[in-house]
């Protein structure tokens, strides 16, 4: 049986979609290697002329606080990912496998909670964290982000656990294993694509989160990357070339991690579609 060749228009549509998707990143990178005159040139200068690396040199030599903010984002994002995967994994397994009476309504409630805008939670979180001494601390922001992104992790992991064969767990229970041991020795080794996909999504969400990070981290040394970039000062003009350079440096870890684990992300997100 002869295979149909894709139509040329399909290639055009795919190329156009890729161009539209990557254009902001491409423009950001090109802006980061332009001079200040090139950034404000009119008509717009689409290709840097000349290329310059002065913006990157200035970031590393004159703006160490921006590099510190990237480190802060990495520390917070890693902590949030660990906490959310541990709690979300156990909660998702319980809702997916245990015969709980209100499992369905609980999942709907968890999904509804995840729809709350972070801004609506700011007054209560700020007052409580102020009294507990958690402002301007990694622990405070990790707790806040974990509460914000835990519902989506529970939902994703619960859906992934539902795709695993129940026969393996039944066999383990016949051997005398309890639920915790089954989860640790049987479910976890089979669920690592789902954990990788969920962990990366949580890490990216935490890395990009802005309102809570802005309010809970008021000291310049504790700011995360999005907050530090948005507050970068310009005395007489907005330093787009410097901001673009800082943004490129801030998104490099995300792009690298996504590129490395792209198969696991796709596998974890599409698990259960054909069930």
pLDDT digits (tens, 9 = 90+) for 15-28: 888 888 888 888 88
pLDDT at 264: 65
Mean residue pLDDT of the chain comes to: 82
Using the predicted structure, report yes or no on whether residue 148 has a pLDDT greater than 80.
yes
pLDDT digits (tens, 9 = 90+) for 186-196: 888 888 888 88
pLDDT at 234: 57
User: Does residue 20 or residue 273 have the better pLDDT?
Assistant: 20
Using the predicted structure, report yes or no on whether residue 113 has a pLDDT greater than 80.
no
pLDDT at 70: 87
Once rounded to an integer, what is the mean pLDDT over residues 66-84? 91
Lowest mean pLDDT among 49-53, 137-141, 148-152, 269-273: 269-273
Q: pTM of the full predicted structure?
A: 0.81
Start-to-end CA distance of the chain, whole Å, equals 28
Banded model confidence at residue 266, pLDDT cuts 50, 70, 90: low
- CA distances to 58, 138, 227, 240, 249 from 211, rounded to whole Å, are 28, 16, 9, 22, 21
Banded model confidence at residue 83, pLDDT cuts 50, 70, 90: very high
Using the predicted structure, report yes or no on whether residue 200 has a pLDDT greater than 70.
yes
Using the predicted structure, report yes or no on whether residue 233 has a pLDDT greater than 70.
no
pLDDT at 237: 61
Using the predicted structure, report yes or no on whether residue 46 has a pLDDT greater than 90.
no
Banded model confidence at residue 180, pLDDT cuts 50, 70, 90: confident
Question: 130 in the Ramachandran plot: left (φ > 0), alpha (ψ -120 to 50) or beta?
Answer: alpha
Banded model confidence at residue 82, pLDDT cuts 50, 70, 90: very high
Q: Specify whether the CB–CB gap between 216 and 152 falls below 8 A.
A: no
Domains of the chain: residue spans and CATH? 26-270 (1.10.3720.10)
pLDDT at 273: 47
Banded model confidence at residue 202, pLDDT cuts 50, 70, 90: very high
DSSP 2: P
Other Cβ atoms within 10 Å of 45 Cβ, number: 16
Greatest mean pLDDT among 5-9, 36-40, 53-57, 153-157: 153-157
pLDDT at 1: 47
Find the angle CA(82)-CA(88)-CA(94) to the nearest 5 degrees.
Answer: 145
Please state, for a pLDDT cut of 90, what percent of the chain lies above it: 16
Q: Where are the beta strands (DSSP E) in the chain?
A: none
Q: How many CA atoms lie within 13 A of 184 on its CB side?
A: 5
């Amino acid at each position: 049986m002869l295979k149909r060749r894709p139509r040329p228009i399909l290639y055009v549509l795919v190329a156009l979609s890729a161009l539209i998707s990557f254009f902001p990143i491409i423009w950001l990178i090109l802006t980061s290697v332009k001079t200040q005159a090139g950034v404000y040139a009119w008509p717009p200068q689409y290709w840097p002329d000349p290329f310059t690396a002065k913006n990157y040199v200035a970031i590393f030599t004159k703006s160490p606080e921006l590099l510190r903010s990237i480190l802060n984002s990495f520390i917070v994002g890693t902590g949030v990912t660990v906490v959310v995967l541990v709690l979300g994994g156990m909660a998702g397994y319980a809702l997916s496998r245990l015969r709980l009476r209100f499992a369905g309504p609980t999942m709907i409630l968890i999904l509804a909670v995840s729809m709350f805008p972070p801004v609506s939670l700011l007054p209560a979180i700020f007052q409580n964290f102020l009294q507990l001494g958690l402002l301007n601390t990694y622990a405070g922001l990790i707790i806040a982000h974990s509460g914000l992104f835990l519902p989506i992790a529970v939902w994703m992991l619960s859906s992934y656990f539902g795709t695993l064969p129940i026969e393996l767990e039944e066999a383990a229970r016949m051997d005398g294993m309890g639920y915790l041991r089954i989860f640790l020795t049987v479910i976890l080794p089979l669920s690592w694509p789902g954990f990788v996909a969920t962990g990366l999504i949580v890490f990216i969400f935490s890395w990009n989160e802005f309102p809570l990070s802005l309010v809970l981290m008021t000291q310049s040394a504790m700011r995360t990357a999005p907050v530090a970039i948005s507050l970068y000062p310009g005395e007489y003009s907005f330093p787009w070339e410097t901001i673009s350079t800082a943004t490129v440096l801030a998104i490099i870890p995300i792009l690298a991690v996504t590129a490395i684990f792209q198969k696991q992300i796709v596998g974890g997100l599409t698990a259960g579609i054909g069930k």
